Amino acid sequence: MNNRDKILELAEITASNRAGIGVFGEMNFSLFAGETAIVVGASGTGKTTLAELILGELRPEFGSVSVFGRIVGRKNERNLKDIRQKIGGVGGIFDLIPNRSVAENVIYPLIIKGESVSGNRLRQILMQFNLHGRRKDKAFRLTRGEKILAMLARSVIADQPLLIIDEPLERLSPELSDRIVEILKRLSAAGHALLILTNGKTPIEIPSAQINHIRDGKIL
Protein backbone atom coordinates (compact mmCIF):
# COMPACT_ATOMS: atom_id res chain seq x y z
CA MET A 1 0.00 0.00 0.00
CA ASN A 2 1.31 3.41 -0.97
CA ASN A 3 2.04 5.67 1.98
CA ARG A 4 -0.04 8.46 0.50
CA ASP A 5 -3.14 6.29 0.18
CA LYS A 6 -5.90 7.56 2.36
CA ILE A 7 -6.99 4.47 4.24
CA LEU A 8 -9.53 6.13 6.47
CA GLU A 9 -11.87 8.99 5.78
CA LEU A 10 -14.82 10.12 7.83
CA ALA A 11 -16.61 13.00 6.14
CA GLU A 12 -19.22 15.27 7.71
CA ILE A 13 -20.16 12.67 10.26
CA THR A 14 -23.09 13.20 12.57
CA ALA A 15 -23.51 10.17 14.82
CA SER A 16 -24.78 9.00 18.18
CA ASN A 17 -23.35 6.35 20.45
CA ARG A 18 -25.16 3.10 21.28
CA ALA A 19 -27.09 4.83 24.06
CA GLY A 20 -28.50 7.21 21.45
CA ILE A 21 -26.57 10.20 22.77
CA GLY A 22 -25.23 12.42 20.00
CA VAL A 23 -21.43 12.48 20.06
CA PHE A 24 -20.33 13.73 16.66
CA GLY A 25 -21.63 16.61 14.58
CA GLU A 26 -20.22 17.29 11.12
CA MET A 27 -16.99 15.63 12.16
CA ASN A 28 -14.18 15.06 9.66
CA PHE A 29 -11.21 12.81 10.12
CA SER A 30 -8.75 11.03 7.88
CA LEU A 31 -5.70 8.82 8.14
CA PHE A 32 -3.13 7.88 5.51
CA ALA A 33 -1.41 4.51 5.14
CA GLY A 34 1.49 4.11 7.56
CA GLU A 35 0.41 7.17 9.55
CA THR A 36 -0.20 7.22 13.29
CA ALA A 37 -2.97 9.31 14.81
CA ILE A 38 -3.54 9.69 18.51
CA VAL A 39 -7.08 10.78 19.28
CA VAL A 40 -7.42 12.19 22.78
CA GLY A 41 -10.78 12.56 24.42
CA ALA A 42 -12.31 12.27 27.84
CA SER A 43 -14.61 9.41 28.65
CA GLY A 44 -17.90 9.68 26.77
CA THR A 45 -16.60 12.00 24.05
CA GLY A 46 -16.91 9.31 21.36
CA LYS A 47 -13.62 7.42 21.10
CA THR A 48 -15.30 4.02 21.06
CA THR A 49 -18.05 5.37 18.80
CA LEU A 50 -15.32 6.40 16.36
CA ALA A 51 -13.99 2.82 16.34
CA GLU A 52 -17.51 1.45 15.88
CA LEU A 53 -18.17 3.81 12.95
CA ILE A 54 -14.96 2.68 11.24
CA LEU A 55 -15.87 -0.98 11.72
CA GLY A 56 -19.44 -0.54 10.54
CA GLU A 57 -20.84 -1.53 13.93
CA LEU A 58 -22.58 1.83 14.08
CA ARG A 59 -23.90 3.83 11.18
CA PRO A 60 -23.74 7.62 11.11
CA GLU A 61 -26.92 9.61 10.88
CA PHE A 62 -25.23 11.78 8.26
CA GLY A 63 -21.97 11.67 6.43
CA SER A 64 -19.90 8.83 5.08
CA VAL A 65 -17.21 6.52 6.37
CA SER A 66 -14.69 5.17 3.91
CA VAL A 67 -12.03 2.62 4.83
CA PHE A 68 -9.38 1.43 2.37
CA GLY A 69 -11.28 3.32 -0.31
CA ARG A 70 -14.54 1.46 0.35
CA ILE A 71 -17.68 2.91 1.82
CA VAL A 72 -18.60 1.23 5.09
CA GLY A 73 -22.20 0.10 5.13
CA ARG A 74 -24.10 -2.77 6.58
CA LYS A 75 -25.81 -3.59 3.31
CA ASN A 76 -22.74 -5.09 1.72
CA GLU A 77 -21.65 -7.85 4.07
CA ARG A 78 -18.73 -8.93 1.92
CA ASN A 79 -17.38 -5.38 1.74
CA LEU A 80 -17.61 -5.00 5.50
CA LYS A 81 -15.97 -8.37 6.07
CA ASP A 82 -13.05 -7.48 3.80
CA ILE A 83 -12.57 -4.14 5.57
CA ARG A 84 -12.64 -5.72 9.01
CA GLN A 85 -10.11 -8.37 8.04
CA LYS A 86 -7.62 -5.57 7.39
CA ILE A 87 -8.18 -3.89 10.74
CA GLY A 88 -6.48 -5.08 13.89
CA GLY A 89 -8.03 -4.17 17.17
CA VAL A 90 -6.65 -3.76 20.66
CA GLY A 91 -8.76 -2.84 23.70
CA GLY A 92 -12.10 -1.06 23.79
CA ILE A 93 -14.61 -3.09 21.81
CA PHE A 94 -11.87 -5.52 20.84
CA ASP A 95 -11.01 -8.36 23.15
CA LEU A 96 -9.75 -11.91 23.14
CA ILE A 97 -12.13 -14.86 23.11
CA PRO A 98 -12.04 -15.87 26.77
CA ASN A 99 -12.40 -19.65 26.51
CA ARG A 100 -9.87 -20.05 23.70
CA SER A 101 -6.16 -20.52 24.14
CA VAL A 102 -3.76 -17.65 23.56
CA ALA A 103 -2.36 -19.36 20.46
CA GLU A 104 -5.85 -19.87 19.01
CA ASN A 105 -6.73 -16.24 19.67
CA VAL A 106 -3.59 -15.05 17.95
CA ILE A 107 -4.17 -17.05 14.77
CA TYR A 108 -7.90 -16.37 14.51
CA PRO A 109 -7.62 -13.55 11.91
CA LEU A 110 -5.68 -15.91 9.64
CA ILE A 111 -8.21 -18.72 10.03
CA ILE A 112 -10.99 -16.30 9.23
CA LYS A 113 -9.15 -15.27 6.07
CA GLY A 114 -8.56 -18.91 5.19
CA GLU A 115 -4.79 -18.58 5.48
CA SER A 116 -2.45 -20.93 7.29
CA VAL A 117 0.43 -20.13 9.58
CA SER A 118 3.53 -22.18 10.22
CA GLY A 119 4.28 -23.34 13.74
CA ASN A 120 7.63 -21.54 13.56
CA ARG A 121 6.06 -18.22 12.65
CA LEU A 122 3.55 -18.53 15.47
CA ARG A 123 6.25 -19.43 17.98
CA GLN A 124 8.37 -16.53 16.78
CA ILE A 125 5.53 -14.04 17.21
CA LEU A 126 4.51 -15.43 20.59
CA MET A 127 8.10 -15.23 21.81
CA GLN A 128 8.41 -11.71 20.49
CA PHE A 129 5.44 -10.74 22.66
CA ASN A 130 6.53 -12.83 25.67
CA LEU A 131 3.51 -15.07 25.35
CA HIS A 132 5.04 -18.37 24.28
CA GLY A 133 4.93 -19.76 27.81
CA ARG A 134 1.25 -18.96 28.00
CA ARG A 135 0.24 -20.14 24.53
CA LYS A 136 -1.94 -22.97 25.85
CA ASP A 137 -3.59 -20.94 28.58
CA LYS A 138 -7.13 -19.78 28.10
CA ALA A 139 -7.38 -16.07 27.40
CA PHE A 140 -9.46 -15.39 30.49
CA ARG A 141 -6.43 -16.33 32.62
CA LEU A 142 -4.31 -13.52 31.18
CA THR A 143 -3.63 -10.21 32.91
CA ARG A 144 -4.75 -7.02 31.17
CA GLY A 145 -1.19 -6.37 30.02
CA GLU A 146 -0.88 -9.85 28.55
CA LYS A 147 -4.21 -9.41 26.81
CA ILE A 148 -3.01 -6.19 25.17
CA LEU A 149 0.14 -8.01 24.06
CA ALA A 150 -1.86 -10.94 22.69
CA MET A 151 -4.12 -8.58 20.71
CA LEU A 152 -1.05 -6.80 19.32
CA ALA A 153 0.46 -10.19 18.40
CA ARG A 154 -2.82 -11.06 16.65
CA SER A 155 -2.56 -7.93 14.51
CA VAL A 156 1.11 -8.53 13.72
CA ILE A 157 0.66 -12.13 12.62
CA ALA A 158 -2.20 -11.12 10.33
CA ASP A 159 -0.16 -8.18 9.03
CA GLN A 160 -3.14 -5.86 9.22
CA PRO A 161 -2.44 -2.43 7.72
CA LEU A 162 -4.62 -0.51 10.19
CA LEU A 163 -4.69 -0.98 13.94
CA ILE A 164 -7.26 0.62 16.22
CA ILE A 165 -5.89 0.73 19.72
CA ASP A 166 -8.27 1.85 22.43
CA GLU A 167 -6.79 2.95 25.77
CA PRO A 168 -3.75 0.69 25.50
CA LEU A 169 -2.01 1.89 28.63
CA GLU A 170 -4.90 2.11 31.04
CA ARG A 171 -4.32 0.31 34.34
CA LEU A 172 -0.88 -0.92 33.26
CA SER A 173 2.34 -0.71 35.23
CA PRO A 174 4.85 1.92 34.00
CA GLU A 175 7.19 -0.87 32.82
CA LEU A 176 4.54 -2.59 30.80
CA SER A 177 3.31 0.75 29.46
CA ASP A 178 6.82 1.52 28.22
CA ARG A 179 6.97 -1.91 26.57
CA ILE A 180 3.65 -1.40 24.81
CA VAL A 181 4.70 2.06 23.60
CA GLU A 182 7.89 0.51 22.24
CA ILE A 183 5.87 -2.10 20.35
CA LEU A 184 3.60 0.62 18.96
CA LYS A 185 6.63 2.57 17.77
CA ARG A 186 7.97 -0.53 16.03
CA LEU A 187 4.61 -1.19 14.39
CA SER A 188 4.44 2.42 13.22
CA ALA A 189 7.98 2.20 11.86
CA ALA A 190 7.06 -1.04 10.08
CA GLY A 191 4.38 0.81 8.13
CA HIS A 192 1.20 -0.04 10.02
CA ALA A 193 -1.27 2.80 10.32
CA LEU A 194 -2.20 3.25 13.98
CA LEU A 195 -5.26 4.94 15.34
CA ILE A 196 -4.69 5.26 19.06
CA LEU A 197 -7.64 6.31 21.17
CA THR A 198 -6.78 7.58 24.64
CA ASN A 199 -8.13 9.72 27.42
CA GLY A 200 -4.72 11.39 27.66
CA LYS A 201 -4.07 10.52 31.28
CA THR A 202 -1.02 8.47 30.28
CA PRO A 203 0.92 10.21 27.52
CA ILE A 204 1.79 8.10 24.51
CA GLU A 205 4.77 9.41 22.60
CA ILE A 206 5.22 8.10 19.13
CA PRO A 207 7.41 10.02 16.70
CA SER A 208 5.60 11.66 13.81
CA ALA A 209 2.20 10.83 15.27
CA GLN A 210 -0.52 13.41 14.69
CA ILE A 211 -2.30 14.34 17.90
CA ASN A 212 -6.01 15.05 17.64
CA HIS A 213 -8.50 16.02 20.31
CA ILE A 214 -12.21 15.35 20.40
CA ARG A 215 -13.99 18.56 21.29
CA ASP A 216 -17.60 19.56 20.80
CA GLY A 217 -18.33 16.54 18.64
CA LYS A 218 -15.43 17.16 16.28
CA ILE A 219 -11.92 15.76 15.95
CA LEU A 220 -9.52 18.70 15.85
Partner 1 sequence: MSRIFFLLGKSLGDIGRRPIAAFGALLSLLLLFLLFDIVWISSLSSRKYYDNLVSGIDIEVFIDDSLPDSSFMATQMAISKFEGVERVDLITKDDARTLLVDIMGVDLLNGLEGNPLPRSLVVTFRENFLNNRALGNYRKRMMEFEGVSQIFYAQHLLEKAENARMIISNIVIYLGGAILLAAVLNLVNSIRLSARAREFEITQLRLMGASRFFLLFPFILEGFLFSFLASMSGWILLQYGTDYFAFKGIEIMFPSIPEIVFFCLAASVTGIIGGYIGSRKIL
| Contacting residues toward partner 1, per CB under 8 A | 55, 57, 77-78, 80-87, 89, 93-100, 108-109, 111-114, 116
* In the complex, least distance from residue 50 CB atom to partner 1, rounded to whole angstroms: 14
Nearer to partner 1, 46 or 89 (CB): 89
> What contacts 118, CB < 8 A, 6 or more positions away?
none
* In the complex, least distance from residue 155 CB atom to partner 1, rounded to whole angstroms: 10
Nearer to partner 1, 30 or 85 (CB): 85
CA–CA gap between residue 215 and residue 102 (Å, rounded): 38
Nearer to partner 1, 129 or 206 (CB): 129
φ and ψ of 114, to 5 deg: 80, 20
CA–CA gap between residue 169 and residue 83 (Å, rounded): 26
* In the complex, least distance from residue 134 CB atom to partner 1, rounded to whole angstroms: 19
* In the complex, least distance from residue 198 CB atom to partner 1, rounded to whole angstroms: 20
Nearer to partner 1, 100 or 213 (CB): 100
**Side-chain-side CA neighbours of residue 111 (13 Å):** 8
CA–CA gap between residue 75 and residue 96 (Å, rounded): 27
Nearer to partner 1, 40 or 96 (CB): 96
How big is the CA angle at 8 (ends 74 and 201), to the nearest 5 degrees?
105
* In the complex, least distance from residue 149 CB atom to partner 1, rounded to whole angstroms: 17
